[in-house]
Amino acid sequence: MKQSISGKITIAPQVLTTIVEQTALDTKGVRALGARPPHIRDAEGRRAVGSGVEAIVSDNTVFVALNVEAAPDVNMLALAEVLQRDIARNVEHILGMKVARVDVAIGDVTFSEIVQE
């Protein structure tokens, strides 16, 4: 039987942005996070900003916007869908918060450097 213990629980906003950043960087086809995070315009709440990430938390619900640089050899629509799914799953699993929306912007395509001999 679970016992309820009173007290305040606080999760720093950087925890949320770190989860989003690491999920994105661990996704095949993502070369880097975007230089600037996109801006969430239609949600109110506590705002957290990281490298290429903005998140807003309101009533235990999360809104995420992500900007990434993609590899040129991936299907970008499929990449964005994987990012949406994996970010929502990780935030819900790790933090126990509901994810209302994950907006993904692919801001650039990054080609690997050509090695010349």
Domain spans in the chain, listed from the N-terminal domain onward: 17-109
Using CB atoms within 10 A of its CB, is residue 87 exposed (0-12), middle (13-18) or buried (19+)? buried
Q: 12-37, pLDDT tens digit by residue?
A: 888 999 999 999 999 999 999 998 87
Which pTM was predicted? 0.87
Q: 32-91, pLDDT tens digit by residue?
A: 999 887 888 888 998 999 999 999 999 889 999 999 999 999 999 999 999 999 999 999
Cα–Cα dist 5/40, whole Å: 35
CATH of span 17-109: 3.30.70.1350
